[in-house]
Amino acid sequence: MKKGLIIRSTGSWYELIDQETNNKYSCRTAGKMKLLKKDLSNPIGVGDFVEFEPESENQGIIHKIEPRKNYIVRQSPKNKHQLHLIAANIDLAVLVTTLIQPTFKPGFIDRFLITTEPQNIPVLIVFNKSDLWEESEFQLFEDCKSIYRHITAGLLEVSTVTLKNIELLKENLLGKTCLVAGQSGVGKSSLLNVLQPGIGLRTSDISSSSGKGTHTTTFAEMFILEDGSRVIDTPGIKSLSFNNLEIMDVAHNFKEFFETSVGCRFGSKCTHRNEPECAVKMAIESGHISFQRYQNYINLIDEIESQNYWERNKKF
Ligand code: GDP
């Protein structure tokens, strides 16, 4: 049996790299694979290590999936009560975003962080298109730094036009398996092309009418860069939605809120809204927790509460 690393998954076919020879194989699974986790709708994701048996020069059969150190899911496109495995064994998640073109959306970073926090995946936030920044964007970037510096692996402003900080970004990725995510239009494909000229990803122009980019990537895919770093490109962030979340999932995955909740009267059961003696609210008053982050938190749990309300009432 040989060991392989999954670099692409398109439904029932999986593309992998033989760990010894670096040859590529297209593989199917041996019968129905046992799912490592019952709530996942697909058994194998990009970044998974597997055992496989070659059947020909470039095809084979996967027999076993190695245990994962972590994984990222999204809501299954087929069944919204199931989760679809996007990628596994991630060392660093790179969230690509912009302050302008497209406009920065407060709350977007926080949404992403609650998907990585339960899996203990460090997040580097990359602000692209810094060549377009004026004074207000530089100020906004400083504000973001003061909010997110302590709860992430860092923030970096880059540009695929001037190549600002691209070398620094490469250093941050070196030797790691990195998941790259971001809303369409932020320049994710341009950035991957700059990281490795010739990766050959298509970039999409921002539609002049909507100001939004159009989707060009539909499946997660891993690219091995020249320096050995592994980069996983993911489908549009739209699909990283989370209908199955409960309020406590959010409360427990706002890192600094959860850490602070030991001081709340209701401890880890506190939702930090109207409860008495809430240490999180006190920390906001004293400036130890960002008010902006608290607002994003409240918006998120309001949204989940109304979503769950409609879901529950539909059933009766
Ligand atoms: P994706 O949808 O996130 O993959 O974004 P693309 O890479 O397709 O880029 C969307 C648009 O932004 C394209 O028109 C790019 O030329 C443009 N773009 C990408 N990076 C930069 C940058 O650093 N500065 C500027 N000004 N434009 C950029």
Taking the centre of ligand 1 as the mean of its atom positions, its distance from the CA of residue 222, in whole angstroms, is 20
- Within 117-224, residue ranges assigned H as helices are 135-148, 166-173, 188-195
Instruction: Indicate the average pLDDT of the chain.
Output: 87
Confidence of residue 277 (pLDDT cuts 50, 70, 90): very high
User: Which of the pair, 10 or 195, is modelled with greater confidence?
Assistant: 195
Task: Say if ligand 1 is within 6 A of residue 183 CB.
Answer: no
Instruction: Report how far residue 247's alpha carbon sits from residue 305's, in angstroms, rounded to the nearest whole number.
Output: 7
- Supply the DSSP symbol for 36: S
**C-alpha separations of 224 from 141, 195, 229 in Å:** 30, 11, 6
Tell me the CA–centroid distance for residue 185 and ligand 1, in Å. 6
Per-residue pLDDT at 175:
95
Q: Does ligand 1 come within 6 angstroms of the Cβ of 206?
A: yes
pLDDT digits (tens, 9 = 90+) for 143-192: 999 999 999 999 999 999 999 999 999 999 999 999 999 888 999 989 99
What's the Cα-to-Cα distance from 289 to each of 112, 175, 250, 273, 316, rounded to whole Å?
19, 33, 16, 14, 40
Between strands 14-18 and 230-233, the pairing is unpaired
The amino acid sitting at 235 is: P
Which atom of ligand 1 is closest in space to residue 190's alpha carbon? Answer: 7
Q: Does any ligand 1 atom lie closer than 6 A to the CB of residue 97?
A: no
Among 129, 190, 221, 233, residue to substitute to test ligand 1 (most atoms within 8 Å of Cβ): 190
Q: Which residues pair with 6 in a beta bridge?
A: 16
Distance 186 CA to ligand 1 centre (A): 6
Q: What is the mean pLDDT of residues 43-61?
A: 95
- pTM value is 0.87
Is the backbone peptide bond immediately before 102 cis, with ω within 30 degrees of 0? yes
pLDDT of residue 201: 56
Residue 244 confidence (pLDDT): 67
Residue 129 Cβ contacting ligand 1 at under 6 Å = yes
Q: Residue 240 in contact with residue 112, Cβ under 8 Å? A: yes
